[in-house]
Amino acid sequence: MNKTAIITGGARGIGRAAAIKLAEDAENIVIIYRSNDEAAAATCEEIRAAGAEAKAVKLDVADFDAVKVAMEELKKEFGQIDVLVNCAGITKDGLLAMMKESGFDEVIGVNLKGTYNMIRHCTPYFMKQRKGSIINVTSVSGIIGNAGQTNYSASKAGVIGLTKAVAKELVSRGIRCNAVAPGFIETEMTAGIDENNEMINAIPMKRMGKPEEVAELISFLASDKAAYITGEIIRVDGGIAI
């Protein structure tokens, strides 16, 4: 049976790089994206050029019922789901004293609940297959906490707890669940940060990371090379959270 990998947030940034890298090891790549049709179409072209079939699905990962329907359809179309990469994420930064309730709820809704929704609706298929690899994209913010990002840090710390609990719960079914924790990576999410920023200076490697450097790790964790690794959180951060 052909191998199928689903990558949320796969149209751009880290998810895009992961989708293209995973195309080297899977026959079918499904990217899930929120709004940018053009970016999704362009990424699909790059996936095909890398040697896999590509499909883009427009879906809000924060919507429990919509995710359920979409996973049922993907399972019908591809026969099985082998790899799930939860990369969709948003920020709504601001000081806690001024943070709106909606800004807190939205970030938790996409980053944490969205990750739960995807895992929840893929797990029945993983369990039947007795096989599956889940990779969640958390952040160093979820490990060390960032001022101005209480909502985001909470959501990413939640993803770390979720990863470890899922790993323990599903290990007997042949399912592995790990997380990668990027530091500052050059994507649209960090487009406002300039090279001379003091945050960049605080990185021991003195530079931002590239999406491809995170994608390498995601691809490793997705593969059988990581067959004995589960419940692990690996930083890709140039040393900023040492």
Q: Based on CB atoms, which residue is closest to ligand NAI, 52 or 137? A: 137
Stretch that binds ligand NAI, among 6-14, 93-101, 168-176, 195-203 (CB under 6 A): 6-14
Q: Three-class SS of residue 3?
A: coil
- Asked if 103 is part of the footprint of ligand NAI (rule: CB under 6 A), the reply reads no
- Asked if 135 is part of the footprint of ligand NAI (rule: CB under 6 A), the reply reads no
DSSP letters spanning 87-133: -------B-GGG--HHHHHHHIIIIIIHHHHHHHHHHHHHHHHT-EE
The answer to whether 86 touches 137, Cβ cutoff 8 Å, is yes
> Is 152 marked active-site?
yes
- Asked if 18 is part of the footprint of ligand NAI (rule: CB under 6 A), the reply reads no
Q: Which of 23, 30, 110, 143 binds ligand NAI (CB under 6 A)?
A: 110
d(CA 203, CA 241): 9
d(CA 89, CA 69): 21
Residues 91, 94, 96, 97: is their CA dihedral positive or negative? negative
The answer to whether 188 touches 13, Cβ cutoff 8 Å, is yes
Place of tokens 């929120």: 34
- Asked if 136 is part of the footprint of ligand NAI (rule: CB under 6 A), the reply reads no
Q: Based on CB atoms, which residue is closest to ligand NAI, 187 or 230? A: 187
Q: Based on CB atoms, which residue is closest to ligand NAI, 187 or 219? A: 187
Residues in 188-217 that interact with ligand NAI by CB under 6 A: 188-190
Q: Minimal distance in Å, beta carbon 27 to ligand NAI?
A: 23
Residue numbers annotated as active site = 152
Query: Which stretches of the chain bind ligand NAI, using CB under 6 A?
Result: 8-9, 11-15, 32-34, 59-62, 87-90, 110, 114, 137, 139, 182, 184-185, 187-190
